[in-house]
Amino acid sequence: MTTEVDFYELLECDRGADDAVIKASYRKLAMKYHPDKNDGCKDSESRFKAISEAYDCLKDPQKRAAYDRYGHAAFRNGAGNGGGGAQDFGAFSDIFENIFGEFMGGGQRAARGPRRGADLRYDMEITLEDAFRGKSTEVTVDVSAACDSCSGTGATPGTSAKSCSTCAGQGKVRAQQGFFVVERTCPTCHGVGQVIADPCNACRGEGRVEKTKTLTVNIPPGVDEGTRVRLTGEGEAGMRGAPPGDLYIFLHITRHPLFEREGTTLFARAPISFTTASLGGEIQIPGPGGEHHSIKIPAGVQSGRELRQRGAGMPVLQGRGRGDLVIRIEVETPTRLTAKQKELLEQFRATETGEENPQTTGFFKKVKGAWG
């Protein structure tokens, strides 16, 4: 009996993963287990076919929905192929478009020409106050940038690249293997379709060099933990004049001594004295924008009660309005009483009837009842 491995497990993805995550995982695994990269290893070939079958199913919304509901049974007896039993070669199409394109040196669809530069990541810590107001700041990054000497072409100034004679500028060559025709990246130009006879001395023909750049980052008000700010075209330069990648700034909010945040709502813990809790009063809470909020404490408030101040929380990112500020009340029992204070409390206790503390009175009535 053949063991059927879960498609999500094969692709090393969660069931809730979106299409982009599934595709990225598939491409990574397909490059890893492709037979051409593993000297014809049977295990790698078997794994390659399995992940291709998994991706073929999960990339199609209808097939994925059927698989999520019925599992492998959804595709037995031709159920997954419209009843006709014909194989869908969509996954293998993606192999030629993506794997040969990147694993063997070309761009998407094994296209000719230099590859686009890689996207880069930069992690930045900011304060809650920065996230509230927004800010403009500078970052310094080491990145591959277009060579100034050759203007990114990779060729010595005054010269230019020529069409590759091996692949006739196609960036790929074909080879017959039995009944199949296999396309491979051109070994001479590495998929670019052009060769440089006289490479630039400054960049050695790559068209890019390592540089340190200082960039301005504008952080809008309302950003949260993990928010990305994209700097278009500030990533790694492409080879030989190809477009550059992007730089992504990932924001991380440092822990605040007073506030905790959930979306646009701010939470703060406010200890108050038992006299304020009994008689009522008012406390002042500073906001992250420098403003102060007056919070009215109702008489008889209990620990754990939440008092909400509308519109005093974080601003909505790229929108209007603000969230709320929620104050969690904690009534503090005094621990350092003077003799006079103790005397006054004793006088107060002598006047108690039980009506002042209905929860306490109710609790001990239940206890008494339980004891009979």
Sign of CA dihedral 179, 182, 187, 188: positive
41 among annotated binding-site residues = no
164 among annotated binding-site residues = yes
Residue 108's φ and ψ, nearest 5 degrees, are -65, 145
**What DSSP line would sit under 18-53, residue for residue?**
-HHHHHHHHHHHHHHH-GGGTTT-HHHHHHHHHHHH
With vertex at residue 111, the alpha carbon angle to CA 107 and CA 114, rounded to the nearest 5 degrees, is 55
Contact (Cβ atoms closer than 8 angstroms) between residue 298 and residue 240: no
150 among annotated binding-site residues = yes
Beta strand 306-309 pairing with 180-185: unpaired
13 among annotated binding-site residues = no
Residues ≥6 apart with Cβ < 8 Å to 54: 7, 8, 10, 11, 26
Contact (Cβ atoms closer than 8 angstroms) between residue 206 and residue 145: no
The packing angle between helices 42-58 and 19-33, to 10°, is 160
Binding-site residue set for Zn(2+): 147, 150, 164, 167, 186, 189, 200, 203
Binding-site residue set: 147, 150, 164, 167, 186, 189, 200, 203
